[in-house]
Amino acid sequence: MGEFAATVQARIRDGLADRHPHLAWETELDVDGTPVDVAGRVDDRLVAVELEWRRADPVANTAKLFRHLESGAVGAAHVTVVQVFSGYYDLAGGVSSKRLDAEFVGRVAADALETLSYCPLDLHVDPPKRGGDRPPDWERAVDDAVAAISERVGT
């Protein structure tokens, strides 16, 4: 993950920690070998935020996480997965098929597993290629995403 993506990841973690201090928030939580970008835990509950920045296959990490949930390796009675897609996945007239595939897998997993909630969200940031300038208003866009994630987290 590049420096800018790591900065966005930390801002999401910090914003969620401010809004939901009852959860212990961290970045890069290891769930049976699968890193979760931002995670909040309390008792038997896990909130997992997957930041899809420029990933070629955005379904990979969440599918592994769903598999670990089914096997019991996650160690939580309820898991909320919020998959946040950057503007990289936006296309003229819609979104990429890679995003559609990821959302489909998330919906199917949530339907199949009683302990799972899944929600895809937008991050209105077009990530620059390595070495490019950060887009203007990226902080506001991340804060808007944090607000949307926070609504899914609840109490």
Whether the full predicted model's pTM is greater than 0.85, yes or no, is yes
| Region 91-116 average pLDDT | 89
Residue ranges per domain, the chain? 3-153
With beta carbons less than 8 A apart as the criterion, state whether 84 and 48 touch: no
DSSP-assigned letter for residue 125: -
| Region 77-96 average pLDDT | 87
The CATH class of 3-153 is: alpha beta
Tens of pLDDT, residue by residue over 114-146, are 999 999 999 999 888 877 889 889 999 999 999
With beta carbons less than 8 A apart as the criterion, state whether 60 and 105 touch: no
With beta carbons less than 8 A apart as the criterion, state whether 77 and 116 touch: no
- Which pLDDT belongs to residue 130? 77
Q: Return the SS3 of 43.
A: coil
Q: Which two structure tokens, joined as six digits, stand for 47? A: 């909130």
Tens of pLDDT, residue by residue over 14-57, are 999 999 999 999 999 998 888 899 999 998 899 999 999 988 88
